Amino acid sequence: MARIDVEQVVKRYAAERIIDTESAKARPALNGVSLHVAEGETVSVVGSSGCGKSTLLKVVAGLEYPDSGRVLYNGADVTFVRPQERGVGMVFQDYALYPSMKGEGNLAYYFEVHDRSEEEKEQRVRETAERMGVGFEHLLGRVPTTLSGGEQQRVAIGRCIVRDPQLFLMDEPISNLDAKLREQTRVEIRRLLRKFGITTLYVTHDQQEAIFMGDRIAVMRDGVIEQIGTFDELYYTPVNLFVATFIGSPPMTVFPAYVSSGVVTVPDTDASWQLPYQLATELPLGPVRVGVRPEGWVLDTPDAVGIRVRHVERIPTERASFIYGNLGPANVVVAAPVDYPERAEVRLTPDWDRAYFFAADGEQPLHVPGVLELF
């Protein structure tokens, strides 16, 4: 178990081409990333593809060396220590099993290269098979090419935990599985992480998965970590527009608006709402952008604005339906009760306690609702 500190890491990949193109020079894969992971904590790193999240993982694992900055395990600088000596366990998106070895050989490779005794190897493999649960035993005798994706990933995870790593690194471990298996494996990984309490970095592009796995979530964009925090912190107090729109599914509706003496109007439409007094005094006058999450709309209030319904999506498990429409140029998603009657137009008002305000020409927030105090 280890405490991980990543300090101001910059990593720029050497261009594959002989002649550098302008776009390749444009931006480093990691641009001053700092991240602190406490002992036993799981941090999910989430971001769209190409944002540098896998590179961050490779730098932590030692598979890539940063151009500048430091990586510390338990306060010791390991920036340029080879991955062989770091004692981390890594799970890859494509499982990366050794194709020429059976499942057992995959698990035993670590003990083989570390000159451990045959007995220890066998004992550890057996222990791991027990920890991994039902049906793992018979995967050990098969070659990876005969295993299904889910089975391969189980072997890969087994290979990762067999030597008690001080740090788990997971690079989109379940995104190659089909939806049902993904659900199942996700629960299993979560159970293992809780059971061992090993420090974990979990990279994914799926925010649901990130929320499910991580004690904290780091949102990355273009080689920079935009915000780290618990789900509630990211959801209710985003540091900028990007985090606000990235977290939450369906995403937040953002539309341009104009604030003037207690009234919000949406240009190019006839929508306008009265602001509550406190909010009206807090906000600057002039153009802003308003963000409203699907559950942040109030339906059918007196001063509501009518919006044409484009289509309705019902999700019975969440006892909700999502109504899609347009407000000016912006897409609007509204959460409604699952039995909400279908109609051509809904009348909406933002719930101002749950509304977000952002600067019109930047990403900084002017007003966020803050973490709800439920108790």
Partner 1 sequence: MLFPRVGRKQPAIRIAWWLVVAFLCLGITLHLFPFYFMLITSFKSGEEVLQFPPTWWPQEPTLAGWRLVVSLVHGANTAASTLMDGPFWVFFLNSVHITFWVLVLGIPITSLAAYANSKLQSGPLARWSFLFFIGTLMMPAALTLIPNYLLTRNFPFALPEVPEIPGTDIEFPSVRIWDTHWAVILPIVFQAFNFLLFKGFFDTIPDSVIQAARVDGGSEFNIFRRIVLPMSVPVYAVAIWGAFSGAWDQFLWPLIVLQTPEKMPASVEIYLLLQRFTQAGSMNAEQATAQAQQMQEILSAGMSWNGLMVLGILQSLPVFIAFIVCREYLLRGIRLRGLK
Footprint on residues 231-250 left by partner 1 (CB under 8 A): none
268 phi-psi bin (left φ>0, alpha ψ -120 to 50, beta other): left
Q: Is 17 in the site for partner 1 (CB under 8 A)?
A: yes
Least separation, in Å, of the C-beta of 21 and partner 1?
A: 13
Q: Which is nearer to partner 1, 63 or 304 (CB)?
A: 63
Residue 259, amino acid: V
- Which of 37, 90, 323, 334 forms a contact with partner 1 (CB under 8 A)? 90
Q: Which is nearer to partner 1, 54 or 207 (CB)?
A: 54
> How does 286-315 read in b/e, with b if 16+ C-beta sit within 10 Å?
eebbbbbbbebbeeeeeebbebebeebeee
- Which of 21, 23, 49, 84 forms a contact with partner 1 (CB under 8 A)? 84
CB 52 within 8 A of CB 29: yes
Tell me which stretch binds partner 1 (CB under 8 A): 15-23, 147-155, 181-189, 359-367.
15-23
Please choose, from the candidates 27, 7, 1, 368, the residue with its C-alpha nearest in 3D space to the C-alpha of residue 222.
Answer: 27
- Which of 109, 212, 258, 322 forms a contact with partner 1 (CB under 8 A)? 109
Q: Which is nearer to partner 1, 23 or 278 (CB)?
A: 23
Rounded to 10 degrees, what is the CA torsion of 299, 304, 305, 307? 20
What is the rounded distance in angstroms from the CA atom of residue 224 to the CA atom of residue 236? 21
Q: Is 114 in the site for partner 1 (CB under 8 A)?
A: yes
What are the CA-CA distances from residue 361 to residues 199, 298, 344 (Å)? 40, 27, 34
Q: How far is CA 85 from the centre of its chain?
A: 29
What is the rounded distance in angstroms from the CA atom of residue 94 to the CA atom of residue 155? 12
- Which of 11, 53, 86, 102 forms a contact with partner 1 (CB under 8 A)? 86
Please choose, from the candidates 113, 28, 24, 12, the residue with its C-alpha nearest in 3D space to the C-alpha of residue 64.
Answer: 12
Q: Which is nearer to partner 1, 83 or 262 (CB)?
A: 83
Least separation, in Å, of the C-beta of 25 and partner 1?
A: 13
Which structure tokens are listed for 260?
């003037």
Q: Is 65 in the site for partner 1 (CB under 8 A)?
A: no
- Which of 77, 94, 130, 178 forms a contact with partner 1 (CB under 8 A)? 94
What is the rounded distance in angstroms from the CA atom of residue 371 to the CA atom of residue 375? 12
Taking the CA atoms of 101, 104, 108 and 110 in sequence, report the sign of the dihedral they define: positive
Least separation, in Å, of the C-beta of 64 and partner 1?
A: 10
What are the CA-CA distances from residue 322 to residues 206, 252, 313, 338 (Å)? 20, 12, 5, 8
CA angle 302–350–341, rounded 5-degree value: 65
Tell me which stretch binds partner 1 (CB under 8 A): 88-96, 213-221, 246-254, 347-355.
88-96
Least separation, in Å, of the C-beta of 167 and partner 1?
A: 10
Least separation, in Å, of the C-beta of 18 and partner 1?
A: 5
What is the rounded distance in angstroms from the CA atom of residue 318 to the CA atom of residue 187? 19
277 three-state secondary structure:
helix
Q: Which is nearer to partner 1, 82 or 194 (CB)?
A: 82
Tell me which stretch binds partner 1 (CB under 8 A): 95-103, 145-153, 227-235, 245-253.
95-103
- Which of 31, 68, 93, 176 forms a contact with partner 1 (CB under 8 A)? 93
Least separation, in Å, of the C-beta of 89 and partner 1?
A: 7
What are the CA-CA distances from residue 349 to residues 32, 46, 181, 295, 353 (Å)? 41, 32, 40, 11, 12
Footprint on residues 161-180 left by partner 1 (CB under 8 A): 169
Footprint on residues 117-156 left by partner 1 (CB under 8 A): 156
Residue 252, amino acid: M
Tell me which stretch binds partner 1 (CB under 8 A): 57-65, 183-191, 234-242, 354-362.
57-65
What is the rounded distance in angstroms from the CA atom of residue 356 to the CA atom of residue 370? 10
Q: Which is nearer to partner 1, 86 or 216 (CB)?
A: 86
Size of the site for partner 1 (CB under 8 A): 34
Q: Which residues bind partner 1 (CB under 8 A)?
A: 13-18, 58, 61, 63, 82-86, 88-90, 92-94, 96-101, 109-110, 112-114, 156, 159, 169
